[in-house]
């Protein structure tokens, strides 16, 4: 089965443990954002879509329980896995009752954490629908782009840009919108880099009869070339 494209928010106030967990998850091709307080977690989850949250219960500021309560009160269904050093079963029950999806008691085995996160994301994300415009087809599940069945080779960022353009076909999107859509926190890309990605994609999808128009002063728009 193809790997899931996972964006993880890790909330852990033990900096050494947070760094270790982040390294493990990134080693499994996950994008990981790390925050160290409950208040930072609440702000992050109010402004950014995540695939899954790994959340310590004991945090500075608001605790993990309150983070989950606020998250669910906003209607978010993002999966949450609680981390706790507490042995009291009441804490685990409380976490599940207020909307957490799973928990692990510290210390835990890294393979179990990875497996649980993948299971949570698979359950919460059914297979995405293929995107198709003209003869160009994107399979987000397999992360494969084809023209008339022939695979187009794309870098990870080219794929992300093309997917975003296809999701917004016939609409003008700005370079800043593209950057926000394709990059996790902690990474940077210049506006010039976006131009490079778009230029490469143009040449790769030309055979599909599609064009990416530059709308000066606004951004780009993907459409069929004969329009």
Report the alpha-carbon distance of residue 77 to residue 96 in Å, rounded.
13
Q: What is the mean pLDDT of residues 122-130?
A: 73
Bridge partner residues of 138 (DSSP) = 131, 145
pLDDT at 84: 84
Q: What is the pairing mode between strands 102-105 and 131-133?
A: unpaired
* Percent of the chain topping pLDDT 70: 92
CATH entry, 131-224, from 3.40.50.880, 1.10.10.10, 3.40.50.10540, 3.40.50.1010:
1.10.10.10
Q: What is the CA radius of gyration of the chain?
A: 20
User: Between the CA of residue 188 and those of 7, 90, 154, 197, what are the distances in Å?
Assistant: 16, 42, 20, 14
- Among 2-6, 126-130, 204-208, which range has the highest average pLDDT? 204-208
User: Model's pTM, two decimal places?
Assistant: 0.58
pLDDT digit string (tens) for 80-92?
999 987 667 888 8
CATH entry, 7-124, from 3.90.1560.10, 3.10.150.10, 3.40.50.2300, 3.40.640.10:
3.40.50.2300
pLDDT digit string (tens) for 99-113?
999 999 888 999 999
**Averaged confidence pLDDT in the chain:** 89
Domain ranges of the chain: 7-124, 131-224
Fill in the DSSP letter of residue 61.
Answer: S
Give the phi and the psi of residue 131 in degrees, each rounded to 5: -105, 135
The answer to whether the 7-124 and 131-224 domains have the same CATH topology is: no
């Amino acid at each position: 089965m193809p790997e899931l494209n996972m964006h993880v928010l890790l909330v852990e106030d033990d900096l050494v443990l947070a760094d270790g967990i982040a390294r493990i998850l990134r080693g499994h091709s996950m994008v990981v954002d790390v925050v160290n307080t409950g208040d930072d977690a609440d702000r992050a989850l109010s402004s950014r879509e995540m695939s899954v949250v790994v959340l310590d219960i004991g945090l500075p500021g608001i605790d993990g329980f309150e983070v989950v309560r606020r998250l669910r009160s906003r209607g978010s269904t993002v999966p949450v896995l609680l981390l706790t050093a507490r042995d009291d079963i009441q804490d685990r029950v409380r976490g599940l009752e207020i909307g957490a999806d799973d928990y692990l008691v510290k210390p835990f085995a890294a393979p179990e954490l990875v497996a649980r996160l993948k299971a949570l994301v698979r359950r919460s994300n059914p297979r995405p629908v293929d995107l198709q415009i003209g003869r160009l087809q994107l399979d987000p599940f397999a992360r494969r782009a084809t023209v008339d069945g022939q695979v187009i080779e794309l870098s990870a960022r080219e794929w992300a840009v093309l997917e975003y353009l296809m999701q917004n076909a016939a609409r003008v999107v700005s370079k800043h919108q593209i950057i926000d859509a394709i990059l996790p926190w902690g990474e940077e890309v210049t506006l010039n880099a976006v131009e490079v990605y778009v230029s490469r994609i143009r040449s790769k999808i030309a055979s599909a009869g599609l064009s990416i128009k530059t709308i000066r002063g606004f951004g780009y728009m993907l459409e069929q070339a004969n329009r």
